[in-house]
Amino acid sequence: MARPRKKIRSKKKNRAWIWKAISVVALLYLIGLGVVWLLDFKLWEDPDSTGQQPANIQLFFGNSELDPEALDCGAVFPVSRKLTPIPSVARSALTELLKGPTTEEAGQGYYTSINEGVRVLGLGVINGTAQIDFDQKFAEDVAGSCQVEAIRAQITQTLIQFPSVSSVVITVAGEVSEAFQP
């Protein structure tokens, strides 16, 4: 009785099969990267973004006229501004906050406790928590718990006005700074 012959693939067919397998794996990898990128973009995208429409927002600053004794380090007061949110209203609000009060607002007693020239390295809102990463300038020459409380209050109050934000985590150059946490 004759044995059935096993199918023996030629080397050419083996190579073709290997290249097909590599192509499928590479395609799945690229699709996976695309999905991760889209998910990451959606998770970090500010859901309160209003596109290019001007938005009325409030920025929070200390005020020497409204709180002359400065007994409450975390006392901050709103200032209304109209701005175009680019790329999102929360990022635009934070960018405006870092600019500090206008000359007119300063004349009304408003001031900022945040260092001049601070840059935002990253801002994301995930599950109601705004995660903000500032550059090293943010923490330079910050002296005392009162100044830290004032800085935190300015940032927190400015961001929790948006329905998607309920809490704030501050990092400096990617590192969680315990001093700036609640």
Same domain membership, residue 112 and residue 36: no
Q: 27: domain range?
A: 12-44
Of the pLDDT bands very low, low, confident and very high (cuts 50, 70, 90), residue 43 is very low
Pick from 160, 158, 178: which is nearest to 170 by CA?
178
Q: Is residue 94 part of a domain?
A: yes
Q: How confident is the model at residue 18 (pLDDT cuts 50, 70, 90)?
A: confident
Asked whether the beta carbons of 58 and 97 are under 8 A apart, the reply is: no
pLDDT number for residue 180: 64
The structural domain count of the chain equals: 2
- Is 83 found in the same domain as 38? no
Query: Which phi and psi (to 5°) does residue 143 adopt?
Result: -120, 115
Do residues 31 and 67 share a domain? Answer: no
pLDDT of residue 167: 92
162 Cβ partners below 8 Å, 6+ apart? 46, 48, 89, 90, 93, 125
Q: What mean pLDDT is predicted for residues 38-44?
A: 41
Q: Are residues 78 and 159 in the same domain?
A: yes
Q: How confident is the model at residue 1 (pLDDT cuts 50, 70, 90)?
A: low
| 80 within 8 A of 97, measured Cβ to Cβ | no
Q: Do 148 and 77 share a structural domain?
A: yes
Examine the domain organization and report whether 99 and 37 are in the same domain. Answer: no
Model pTM score: 0.68
Q: Are residues 92 and 133 in the same domain?
A: yes
Per-chain mean pLDDT for the chain = 79
Do 88 and 160 lie in one domain? The reply is: yes
Q: 159 and 87 in one domain? A: yes
pLDDT for position 21: 73
Q: Based on the domain organization, do 27 and 66 belong to the same domain?
A: no
Q: pLDDT digits over 81-100, tens only?
A: 988 766 678 888 899 999 99
Residue 126 and residue 86: Cα distance in Å, rounded? 19
Of 143, 152, 135, 122, whose CA–CA distance to 45 is shortest?
122
Residues 156 and 94 grouped into a single domain? yes
Q: Which residues pair with 60 in a beta bridge?
A: 78
